[in-house]
Amino acid sequence: MLLIKLFFAFLQIGLFSVGGGYVAIPLIQAKAVDSYGWISQTEFADLVTIAEMTPGPIAVNSATFVGMKIGGFAGAIVSTLGCILPSMVLVSLIFFLYNKYKGLPLLDAVMDSLRAVVVALILSAGISLFKTAVLAGEDDTAITIDVMQLLLFVVSFLILRIKKASPILVMFIAGVAGIVSNLVIEALL
CA separation for the pair 90, 16 (Å, rounded):
11
Q: What is the pLDDT of residue 159?
A: 93
The answer to whether 28 and 46 are in contact (CB under 8 A) is no
Domain that residue 30 falls in: 2-102
Answer whether residue 23 is part of any domain. Answer: yes
pTM: 0.55
Please write the tens of the pLDDT for every residue from 50-98. Answer: 888 888 888 899 999 999 999 999 999 999 999 999 888 978 898 898 8
Please write the tens of the pLDDT for every residue from 61-70. Answer: 999 999 999 9
Answer whether residue 110 is part of any domain. Answer: no
Answer whether residue 76 is part of any domain. Answer: yes
Answer whether residue 54 is part of any domain. Answer: yes
Answer whether residue 178 is part of any domain. Answer: no
Answer whether residue 141 is part of any domain. Answer: no
What do you get for the CA distance between the two ends of the chain, in Å? 49
Answer whether residue 96 is part of any domain. Answer: yes
Answer whether residue 33 is part of any domain. Answer: yes
Report the pLDDT averaged over residues 181-187. 87
Structural domain count of the chain = 1
Q: What is the pLDDT of residue 138?
A: 57
